[in-house]
């Protein structure tokens, strides 16, 4: 199949792979300034606990030992700032995001916190990272992998830039596995979240896409297999909040 005819999904729509990136960029351009607020509203604040679990898994050294983290699709700096706060003087974070609007928000927040020299914000594509092999001790991505058109390429790149012994951690929405809660979650997702998104950001379509993209994302076991196929070892996942999200991990050994 010719590259130009490759298809993927934008929400429930089947679109050319290259078109998905353009549409995703538009979504996050639209919501960049209200993105973290919307995370609070959509999750009832639970995204904070999920990210705390991610940072605990990162486990940055509290001593002065150097520790380099790459946070993918983390433009607003939310995960990066948490890791820096948890780590010691040697902890440094590079935030790589394809969306310039999200990165601008992150840079402003880093400056407000006096973290300009500790957290850097760089524009880049997760499918082709602008970093040398074996550059980072840990690679994270929180609620961003499902927006990548070619997930397998992003996983391969994460593997490439990790040092031996480094860990990949991915926090992503998953599949609710509790009878009754699944139906309630479905109703909340499709009836409430787009309306809240419209009220807060003026963009219902963006949040309709975000909900649909969650449903199209591979089930946890299937995604764990994708992580292993990229070369990672000991690929595991931990469901949280009844399966609303899952924390995936793999090691470069």
Structural domains of the chain sorted by starting position, each given as residue range(s) with its CATH number in brackets:
3-251 (3.40.50.150)
| Spatial separation of the C-alpha atoms in residues 19 and 89, rounded to whole Å | 42
Which residue ranges in the chain fall short of pLDDT 70?
1-35, 37-39, 41-42, 200-201
Specify the pLDDT at position 80.
98
pLDDT digits (tens, 9 = 90+) for 136-187: 999 999 999 988 989 999 999 999 999 999 999 999 988 887 777 777 877 7
Angle between helix axes 46-58 and 78-86 (nearest 10 degrees) is 50
Specify the pLDDT at position 211.
77
Specify the pLDDT at position 45.
78
Specify the pLDDT at position 4.
42
Extended beta strands in the chain, E state:
7-10, 13-16, 67-72, 91-97, 119-123, 136-142, 162-173, 233-240, 245-251
Specify the pLDDT at position 178.
78
37, HSE (Cβ side, Cα atoms, 13 Å): 11
Q: How many helices (H) and strands (E) does the chain have?
A: 10, 9
């Amino acid at each position: 199949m010719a590259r130009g005819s490759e298809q993927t999904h934008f929400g429930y729509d089947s679109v050319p792979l290259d078109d998905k990136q353009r549409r995703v960029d538009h979504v996050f351009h639209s919501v960049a300034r209200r993105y973290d607020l919307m995370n609070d509203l959509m999750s009832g604040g639970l995204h904070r606990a999920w990210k705390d679990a991610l940072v605990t898994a990162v486990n940055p050294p509290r001593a002065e030992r150097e520790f380099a983290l790459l946070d993918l699709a983390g433009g607003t700096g939310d995960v990066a700032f948490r890791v820096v706060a948890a780590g010691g003087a040697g902890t440094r974070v590079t935030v790589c995001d394809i969306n310039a609007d999200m990165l601008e928000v992150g840079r402003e927040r880093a400056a407000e916190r006096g973290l300009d020299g500790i957290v850097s914000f760089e524009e880049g594509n997760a499918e082709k990272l602008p970093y040398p092999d074996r550059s980072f001790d840990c690679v994270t991505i929180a609620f961003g992998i499902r927006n990548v058109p070619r997930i397998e390429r992003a996983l391969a790149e994460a593997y490439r830039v990790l040092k031996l012994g480094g860990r990949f951690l991915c926090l992503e929405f998953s599949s609710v596995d509790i009878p009754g809660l699944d139906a309630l979650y479905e109703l909340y997702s499709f009836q409430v979240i787009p309306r809240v998104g419209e009220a807060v950001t003026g963009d219902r379509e963006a949040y309709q896409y975000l909900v649909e993209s969650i449903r199209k994302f591979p089930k946890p076991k299937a995604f764990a297999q994708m992580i292993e196929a990229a070369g990672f070892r000991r690929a595991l996942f931990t469901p949280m909040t009844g399966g609303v999200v899952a924390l995936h991990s793999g090691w470069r050994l």
